[in-house]
Structure 1
Amino acid sequence: MTTSSTGTAGAQSVPSGFAVSERTARLRAETALFMRDHVLSLVSHDLRGPLNAIHSWAYVLERKLDANDPNSQRAVTGIRNGVDQQVKLLETIVDATRAETKSLALASAPFSLHPLLDETVDEVRSGLARARGVEVIVESQLATEQLNGDRERLAAALWLMLTFAVEASTEGAAVTLAARADATRWYATVTFNQSAAALDDPSVPHLLEAFALKQAREPREAKRIAWVFALCKRVAEAHGGSFEQSDAPESEMATLALHVPLSATTAT
């Protein structure tokens, strides 16, 4: 069953006639949810440092001012109260809002990796790649390897990696998924030539949030990922694994890598 996509707030427009399956719609919503909470986490983290500094300097300033000057003392008190209000806001609104994905529950069970790849790739091909004229190539060394983890969560992470790669690719380009496993870990790597024009083009279908695609092209601090990949990072870490995003200039090869232990120790 398919339903016409009406998009979400901030989402790219979907051309008339392009249909989105119920599963794809759910994956879009999950991607947006994890991205929202990831941004809130960054806001909480990045604001606490300056707020702590302001609070500390307020005490230094208080000792330098005339204790008998009511205006100066009122100003310092106002600074400290303002900082306290902002910290309380972070704790009661920002941190509380993140609670839904902060602790990620996993439904772990053994499953075969090769069918997971086939199903996810088929979904991305039919859901977006064909409409965008992008080829998805699979280079898999997997045979009968199994992973003890949350199959649905890992499928969502892989779907997001491939979907972003397709959205970042121009018509006629190819996205490659390389998958292998050693004695202890599963490795899934997506490579593609990232194009800002492809991410911006309003005439082709888009499944991901417009502002997320824009942010993904901006410079990132060391070890930080683009917001759109928050789901990938959270799912990988919950399985005791990791997610990595390589930096790549325009039209050069970019890499998204997911590494997960075959017998994951849950790390929520």
Structure 2
Amino acid sequence: MPRSTALVRALARSSSAAACLVGLLVLVGWALDVMVLKSMGAALPAMRPSAALGLLLAGGALGLRLRCDASPVRRWMGTGMAWATALLGAASLVDGVVAGVMASGGGLDALFLRLFGEDGFASPGIKPSPLTSLCLLLLGPALALLDRGTPQRLSWSDAFVSLTLMAALLGLNGFLLGPLVTPAAVPFFQERSMGLHTTCLLILLAVGTLCARPDLGLMGRLTQDTLGGFVARRLVPVTLMGPPLLGLTLVVMHLSGRLSHDAKFPLFSTVVAAGGAALVLMAARALDLLDNERRRATTALEASEVRFRTLLDTAPDPMVVVDASGRVRFANAEVERVFGYRREALLDRGVELLVPEGLHGPSTSASPRPTGAGRMVSGRRQDGTCVPLEVRLSPLEGAGDATTIAILRDVTERRELEKLREEYVGLISHDLRNPLHTINLRAHLLQRALHERKLEREGHMAQAIIHNVEWMNTMIEELLEGSRLESGSVTLRRESRDLGRFLEEVLERDVAPDTRERFRLHLAEPLPPVPMDAARLERVVTNLLTNAIKYSPKGTPVDVRLSAVHEQAVVSVSNLGAGLAAQDAARLFDKYYRTEDGRSADGKGLGLGLYISRLIVEAHGGHIWVESEPDRGATFFFSVPLEMAKASRPETPEPQPQPARQRAG
């Protein structure tokens, strides 16, 4: 909570407590006939019972309505006491002004006095002020309508509170400033009908009502961190309370004999004029300070913008700044080199001029990628030729809603290098398979011969050779499969299959019997079939199941779930293992990436299992991702389109390498 808001809330609580306490003490004073409690001071006139009851009701209503999250019963009680305050004020006003019965000994106060066993007031010659009744009449609706305001507009509650404050200040100024123009004929504290204590408490209640909702209406404007709020917080208290304090000072000087009656009014006028000039100078100084701060901030912002533009302009990759409507607001020099457009020609043009499919991909995408993740797109140069790009998006803070920096990295050279690498890997892998096949065949013959001669120790050595040959064969197969999927040369052999039945078969066929009981399969309602390459998708499922068992404590369950989300079948595999750090989860599906736990658990892998799984899933038109937190396990997901979405896709889509989608745990 800001310091100013905390202060005004404390002021609201204090005003509620003070009004309730004084009202209760005065009523007790009338009931016990204690003059000190009736007048709250030896020199002050007795507060009338109706005024004391009004203060008690208003203070109670304010206290009950202070909390915005108060219970309904508490709100209803507060509202009821607020309207009771207004009703009491209206009755007192009619009683005292229209009928004039209080001057003749009747009315509400006479009724209260009869209840207390009193016959009349100690000072019957002093008529009650109608301002007290008017303040209670206005304060009641202000308290009842406390929550009807908004931060942008003044409310009816603000209007009623402002009128209450003006009426109370009128009574206070009449009490303090009246002797400036009229000679004091009676003791000062008894020469005005509206008592000083009543006036001060009504002003305090009015201010407390404003402070009850510091974020709404008039008080919201005073507490907000703006130029208007800054000036108002310094000028409003001085303008409201300056004249009463000045009048009180002059009266005290007059009563002490240091100031003659003829000098009071001229001195008051002179001090008010000087105070007004001082307020103007204070406001001017405050505005000068704020203007200097604004100029310094503007200069710093301009310098920061120059540095920012220089940084973008010297970046080695094409970079554009795009607003919420998709229009280019800035383009660096690399954009000119890669795309052939002059930067001036790109400003205020749609980014589709450079990336026809848009920075976020087609609008029909069922699973949009998170901001900051790279995505492969095809750009278009000015001459109409295409250029492969990797797009990375980053929000630009402080530059308006949805303003984004887009980094368009030209990956033409990388594509050529990847192609050469894939050819090299394919050639090496193919040349390695022939000698491995020969080694495997001879090792099996050797193992059989050793078994016939009952040479068990040598037979175990032959088995170790066979095991390592199989391991090398698996790694070569992973390299070949990854190379084929990356190049897009794989034709998926799709067939419509029931994915739920498919998962049951994989669990039955590919999971070891001693670990099968740890898996729990949860199937949703029957789903439409999925067009899939069963052999390759089985590889994905098996990889996820194997990892779940490998990286979870023994005996803990592994949950496999199947559901449908937006025409996509979603399979999830959850384990209760150690979980993943954020940096590991972000790169888990990258090529050759292995976590520290993965390297320690199995030093033989190449880090291609999840990467190939990602390529297989994306070749099916789906996505794969992980949700995990350290020490809370991990859940791997992959989605593939259902049969109903088949017509909107080509039969064999060309896969495009894309980074894995990660969601925060």
TM-score, normalization by structure 1: 0.51
Q: Which residue of 222, 230, 238 maps to 2:611? A: 230
Cα distance between partner residues in 1 of 2:416 and 2:495: 39
- Equivalent pair of 1:216/1:228 in contact (CA under 8 Å): no
Q: What's the offset of the Cα at 1:254?
A: 0.6
The structure whose Rg is larger is 2
**Equivalent residue, structure 2, for 1:188:** 571
**Equivalent residue, structure 2, for 1:120:** 506
Q: What's the offset of the Cα at 1:230?
A: 1.2
Cα distance between partner residues in 1 of 2:520 and 2:613: 20
**Equivalent residue, structure 1, for 2:629:** 248
- Equivalent pair of 2:624/2:636 in contact (CA under 8 Å): yes
Higher relative contact order (CA 8 A, sep 6+): 1
- Equivalent pair of 1:139/1:179 in contact (CA under 8 Å): yes
- Alignment: residue pair count: 163
**Equivalent residue, structure 2, for 1:170:** 553
Q: What's the offset of the Cα at 1:169?
A: 1.1
CA deviation string 1:52-99 (max 9, x = no partner): xxxxxxxxxxxxxxxxxxxxxxxxxxxxxxxxxx98994564242364
Output the amino acid matched with 1:255: T
Cα distance between partner residues in 1 of 2:415 and 2:504: 47
Output the amino acid matched with 1:235: I
Cα distance between partner residues in 1 of 2:414 and 2:537: 35
**Equivalent residue, structure 2, for 1:100:** 484
Change (3 A) 1:129 1:93: farther
SS of equivalent residue, structure 1 residue 246: strand
Q: What's the offset of the Cα at 1:144?
A: 5.7
Cα distance between partner residues in 2 of 1:91 and 1:141: 41
SS of equivalent residue, structure 2 residue 621: coil
Cα distance between partner residues in 2 of 1:150 and 1:114: 15
- Equivalent pair of 2:495/2:533 in contact (CA under 8 Å): yes
Shifted more, 152-161 versus 96-105: the winner is 96-105
Listed as ranges, the matches of 1:126-141 within 5 Å are: 126=512, 129-130=515-516, 135-141=518-524
**Equivalent residue, structure 2, for 1:62:** none
Change (3 A) 1:100 1:128: farther
Cα distance between partner residues in 1 of 2:642 and 2:493: 15
Cα distance between partner residues in 2 of 1:227 and 1:151: 20
Change (3 A) 1:129 1:213: farther
Percent identity over the alignment? Answer: 20
RMSD: 3.7
**Equivalent residue, structure 1, for 2:542:** 159
**Equivalent residue, structure 2, for 1:109:** 495
- Equivalent pair of 1:244/1:256 in contact (CA under 8 Å): yes
Output the amino acid matched with 1:112: D
Cα distance between partner residues in 2 of 1:91 and 1:233: 18
SS of equivalent residue, structure 2 residue 512: helix
Output the amino acid matched with 2:498: S
Change (3 A) 1:212 1:108: same
SS of equivalent residue, structure 2 residue 521: strand
Choose between structure 1 and 2: higher strand proportion.
Answer: 1
- Equivalent pair of 1:145/1:181 in contact (CA under 8 Å): no
Output the amino acid matched with 1:116: F
TM-score, normalization by structure 2: 0.22
Cα distance between partner residues in 1 of 2:420 and 2:565: 43
Cα distance between partner residues in 2 of 1:259 and 1:248: 21
Where in structure 2 are there 5+ consecutive unaligned residues? 1-315, 317-412, 426-481, 580-592, 601-606, 655-665
